[in-house]
Structure 1
Amino acid sequence: MQLGHCRFSIDKGELTNQETGVVWHLPRAELHVLTLLVEYQGKVVAKPLLESGHEDDSHLSSASVARAIFTLRSFLGPQYETLIETVKGQGYLLRHHRARKESNNKLGPLFIRPLQALLVVIAVVSVSLASLWWFNQVGHSISPTMPLSIDTVSLNSGQQVDVILYSASNTNNELLIGQGQQLAQSISGCAETVWNKAFLSLSHDKQVLNITLRGDYLGQSIIRNLKISDLRQPKKFINSAWLEQVNICDSLPVRLASSHRSQGR
């Protein structure tokens, strides 16, 4: 299915930017959310349905759904991020995207009839009002999902990276805070990196750490999703072996992909 300049393959679980060739293997939450939005395209998908999870009865938190919407919009880019509309107090809606048609008017703009000119003015005003309404809706939709903390890391090059923690609760977040501090310490050792934001959250059972990296490369907004499972006690999601594997300082990403690693029982 075509979404702006991206192509969504439900069977492969991939979202491909056809202009840059970048392929994003959608993580579980993003794939579930986008599949439902496509299935009900043009209709509002209620938040409880988006949070219902998959056929294995797993459940997504409201923060996971909000983060999935954020990363999907980021991949679609500024030109097409408004295809996913926030409907305040209800859920989200995927707009129908139509390619622009070539004008059949051979007489040129100087010969447009008065009625056509009036329709053009009405269309411009309508788009402006719709854009204003959308930005107002986005502003309201973001406020309920506030981050637990934001830690800004400064590299030797002067570059700054924000490490942002999200949690459904304001209590008992020692594990998440500790992992955020470890990631921040690792990023601080980078000479440079394409990433400027790192989002962290724990699954409801605290056995999976979700990390989303966001940055810019050659003028394009890029994202990378990472998941680490650890069934041990005490848990050590982030360690030297994992950091070496994902190459957190990588400054030349060629292909965006989600990775999932399970650690010992």
Structure 2
Amino acid sequence: MIMQLGDCRFDRERGTLTELSRDECWHLPRAELQVLSLLVEHQGQLVSKYMLKIGEGQHPPLTDTSVARAVFMLRSFLGTRHEGLIETVKGQGYLLQPLNGNKRKYVNYLRLQTIPLWSVLVLFGAMLAVSFFYLYQIDHSKPTQALMSSEISLASGENVRLHLYANSNTNNLLLFKLGERLSAGLTACGQSDWKDVYASLSHDKQVLNVTLRGEKLGQSVIRNIKISDFTQPKEFIDATWLREVDICG
């Protein structure tokens, strides 16, 4: 079954989601494929979290975290114009908006004509004043929020927090893949001096910045790593690199 989802094409048999304008093909991991397949199969209907977790019963159930992460990844790949196709029904599950119909809101212009002009001007002035008030109340010094944060459990019982940063909420598939490689490398350490790892890609996706923070011998330590990769497809991180930089600390 092949279906159009916004600017993407979903091929359920091949397990791929292709962004047509960029010609970028994503071979969906099991969680993303299971969640998207069920949402497509029941489009326009609420699909409970329980149903998304168990799927068709052919594999072990997903965790709540896996389902939430799968939805996040799918929305990110669909892009800001179409991320609203997957709607969250708070406390219940998710719903894929019907793909053959658009929700429209109609305005009763006859009723608007009966409203005095001065009332409209007063309302507009009040809204403008409130907008300026909140604009000046915004704290522009707030730190950038991580696009995604996760906790990595090591064999020693320690936990390392991994934070991924991006300029946009969309088209971050490469960053997520690099995050998974960093996570796998840290997990293989067994133990580590690092407590927090921060990763971000440059706007042109040619430079990966990694910052590691932790403690060693009672002292705070920090390490910054910058990697450039101008090849296609980009790798940045592999097993050899992880050994050479001594990712464990």
Match of 2:37 in 1: 35
- Matched residue, 2:87: 85
Matched length: 166
Compared CA separation, residues 73 and 164, structure 1 to 2 (3 A): closer
Q: Judge conservation of contact 1:5–1:19 (CA < 8 Å) in 2.
A: yes
Residue of structure 1 in register with 2:150 after alignment? 166
Q: How far apart are residue 84 of structure 1 and its match?
A: 0.2
Instruction: Encode CA deviations 1:165-202: one digit per residue, 9 max, x unaligned.
Output: 43699xx994441x74xxx7xxxxxxxxxxx52xxxxx
Instruction: Write the deviation string for residues 119-170 of structure 1: whole angstroms up to 9, x where unpaired.
Output: 85259xxxxxxxxxxxxxxxxxxxxxxxxxxxx9xxxxxxx8948543699x
CA distance in 2, matches of 1:98, 1:256: 37
Match of 1:71 in 2: 73
Task: State which of 222, 229, 234 in structure 1 corresponds to 2:172.
Answer: 222
What is the rounded CA distance, in whole Å, between the counterparts of 1:238 and 1:31 in structure 2? 33
Q: Is the contact between residue 36 and residue 50 of structure 1 (CA under 8 Å) also seen in structure 2?
A: yes
How far 1:71 moved relative to its partner? 1.0
Indicate conservation of the 8 Å contact 1:86/1:93, yes or no.
Answer: yes
Q: What is the TM-score when the length of structure 2 is the normalising length?
A: 0.51
Q: Does structure 2 conserve the Cα–Cα contact (< 8 Å) formed by 1:61 and 1:168? A: no
Q: Using CA pairs below 8 Å that are at least 6 residues apart, which structure has the higher relative contact order?
A: 1
Question: Given the alignment, which residue of 15, 18, 22 partners 1:16?
Answer: 18
> How far 1:223 moved relative to its partner?
1.6
Amino-acid identity (%)? 36
Change (3 A) 1:161 1:87: closer
Q: How does 1:190-229 map to 2 (within 5 A)?
A: 197=165, 221-224=171-174, 225-226=176-177, 227=180
Q: In 2, are the aligned partners of 1:8 and 1:16 still within 8 Å (CA)?
A: yes
Cα gap change, 1:51 to 1:173, in 2 (>3 Å): farther
1:221 is paired with a residue whose SS is coil
The 1:256–1:2 alpha-carbon spacing in structure 2 relative to 1, beyond 3 Å, is: farther
TM-score w.r.t. structure 1 length?
0.48
Amino acid at match of 1:236: C
2:189 to 236, 239, 245: 236
User: Given the alignment, which residue of 121, 127, 137 partners 2:107?
Assistant: 121
Q: What secondary structure sits across from 2:23 in the alignment?
A: coil
Distance in 2 between the 1:173 and 1:75 partners?
Answer: 35
Letter of the 1:62 partner, please give it.
Answer: D
Q: Name the CA shift for 1:77/1:57 in 2 (closer, same or farther; >3 Å).
A: same
Counterpart CA distance in 2 for 1:250 and 1:238 is: 27
Instruction: Give unpaired runs (5+ residues) of structure 2.
Output: 110-142, 193-206, 209-226, 240-249
Q: Which runs of 4+ in 1 moved over 6 A?
A: none
CA–CA separation in structure 1 for the residues paired with 2:57 and 2:48? 18
1:79 Cα deviation (Å)? Answer: 0.7
| Cα distance, 1:58 vs structure 2 | 1.4
- Residues 220 and 81 (structure 1), Cα distance of their counterparts in 2 relative to 1, 3 Å cut: closer
Candidates 49, 52, 55, aligned match of 2:51: 49
Q: Could you say if the C-alpha distance between residues 33 and 235 of structure 1 is closer, same or farther in structure 2, counting changes exceeding 3 Å?
A: same
Q: Distance in 2 between matches of 1:33 and 1:253?
A: 32
- Deviation for aligned residue 1:254: 5.3
Aligned to 2:172, what secondary structure does the other structure show? strand
